[in-house]
Structure 1
Amino acid sequence: MIAMETIVDCAIDMEFREVDAMTQAAVRLRLHDGTELMAQGIAHRHPDDPGQQRVGEEVAAARALNNLAHQLLDKAGVDIEEVTHLEAHLTH
């Protein structure tokens, strides 16, 4: 039996915005079928912590990507249900 391989591309864009002690990450995922999903994540720096822009970006990015992952699981569940007509049980 010969294995079939399929390769598809998607694009992820992320941008950061910093205002005082808050860092916000906005992420956009464009799937190969044209579907776009967007999510945000926010990090707040404690006033006693030193200002490290990179750390705020990492936390905000992780939260945005986590939100995006939940959206993808929800979308996959809907897609499964459309085909099977049964309730999909995907965990986050």
Structure 2
Amino acid sequence: MATTVEWPVRLYLFEEDGTTKARVVLRTGTTTLTGHGTARCSPEDRDVPEIGDEIAAGRAMRDLAGQLQRVADLDLEGVGAGPPRHDHRAAYGWADAMA
């Protein structure tokens, strides 16, 4: 029997003084997860709010995705199945660019 489940996701964006913050909230019915992301406009760059929104939102969604995967891994462990092995790759670029 096929089922359909809807998980509402809300994305909130806040901008002040060249910094955009994003918060994304996922409600599964049993769990609420919140991801966060930030983007900062360099003083040398032209301030384009849409770009800050996109970067902050993408980072918040990436944070949320990681949390959701960790919850799923813990749930798998709870039913006796180990989580899949994840290869750890070294980050490239500047460390603060990954924030």
Q: TM-score range by the shorter chain?
A: 0.7 to 0.9
Question: TM-score under structure 2 normalisation?
Answer: 0.81
Aligned match of 2:5? 8
Paired residues of 1:77 and 1:88 also in contact (CA < 8 A) = yes
Indicate the RMSD between aligned Cα atoms, in angstroms. Answer: 1.5
Q: Could you list the per-position Cα deviations for residues 21-74 of structure 1 after superposition, in whole angstroms to 9, with x for gaps in the alignment?
A: 11000010001x331000100001111111111000000000000000000100
1:20/1:38 CA distance change after superposition, 3 Å: same
Once the two structures are aligned, what percentage of the paired residues are identical? 36
**Separation (CA, whole Å) in 2 of partners of 1:30 and 1:60:** 20
Equivalent residues, number: 87
Question: TM-score under structure 1 normalisation?
Answer: 0.87
SS in 2 for 1:7: coil
Paired residues of 1:77 and 1:90 also in contact (CA < 8 A) = no
The runs of at least 4 consecutive aligned structure 1 residues that moved more than 3 Å come to: none
> Does residue 27 of the first structure (1) align with residue 27 of the second (2)?
no
**Separation (CA, whole Å) in 1 of partners of 2:68 and 2:14:** 24
Paired residues of 1:73 and 1:90 also in contact (CA < 8 A) = no
Question: 1:1-92 counterparts in 2 under 5 A?
Answer: 4-31=1-28, 33-84=29-80, 86-89=81-84, 91=86
**Separation (CA, whole Å) in 1 of partners of 2:3 and 2:85:** 24
Question: Where do 5+ consecutive residues of structure 2 fail to align?
Answer: 89-99
